[in-house]
Amino acid sequence: MQTDFRIAGQGSQEFTLQQNRVLRNTYFLLALSMAPTVLGALVGVQINFSFMAGSPFIAFMLFLGIAWGFMWGIERNKDSGLGVALLLGFTFFMGLMLSRILQVALGFSNGGNMITMAAAGTGAIFFVMATIATVSKRDFSNMGKFLFIGMIVILLAAVANIFFQIPALSLAISAAAVMIFSAYILYDISRIIQGGETNYVSATLSVYLSIYNVFVGLLQMIMAFTGERD
């Protein structure tokens, strides 16, 4: 009986160590992924990068195709160094795509302040959600289906608004994106802690996309409410 307890205790300890390792590696790779994102954004701003600005719908579809191609490659190679390299390449691409909204923000007299506010707000949301997932130890996996449906609704609304160009709908999409992807951060970190995700490359990709979308949503809302023209 004592041996059984000892084996059970060792198994529990190994599980905890493994999940702590996955979480630690995820945070490290997540921090590392910000470097190519910033680099891509800086390059895009410097060269006034515009991704097929004349055809917004085609550009959006092409963006999704490239992004999903990257994500497919990352998932296929998540257990090798190639997966990490693809992830860093993907984050550079996402930084390049981010440059467009940054160019719009910098067109305002308080553009730098708005970008800083959005970055600080994103950092605060990540810290709060990660802390809740870590401290509470609660399993938030039951949120997955609801969040996926919410993400699909946001995606469809974003596609529709390419044609309708309704400012109020754009603002509603941004607010919904901030809420849904903030909850996704909680969900993804919780999955790591609960043992639902054991690969730090996949975990980093999921959390990165949530952070990215929270930042974009916050920046769009901040520009809508506080943007100042010269």
Q: In 47-110, which ranges are continuous DSSP H helix?
A: 56-76, 81-106
Band the pLDDT of 92: cuts 50, 70, 90: very high
User: Taking 70 as the threshold, does the pLDDT of residue 11 lie above it?
Assistant: no
Confidence of residue 217 (pLDDT cuts 50, 70, 90): very high
* pLDDT mean over 206-230: 92
In the chain, % of residues over pLDDT 70: 91
More confident residue, 11 or 83: 83
Is the backbone of residue 52 left (phi > 0), alpha (psi -120 to 50) or beta?
left
User: Across residues 62-67, what is the average pLDDT?
Assistant: 92
The percentage of residues in the chain with a pLDDT greater than 90, rounded to a whole number, is: 67
Mean pLDDT for 92-114 is 93
Where do the structural domains in the chain lie, given as residue ranges?
2-226
Give per-residue pLDDT as tens, 28-39: 999 999 999 999
Distances (CA, A) of 44 to 34, 70, 162, 204, 214: 15, 19, 22, 24, 20
> For 20-31, what is the mean pLDDT?
92
Q: How far apart are CA 159 and CA 179, in angstroms?
A: 19
Q: What is the mean pLDDT of residues 104-120?
A: 94
Question: Mind listing the pLDDT tens digit for each residue in 140-184?
Answer: 888 889 999 999 999 999 989 888 888 899 999 999 999 999 999
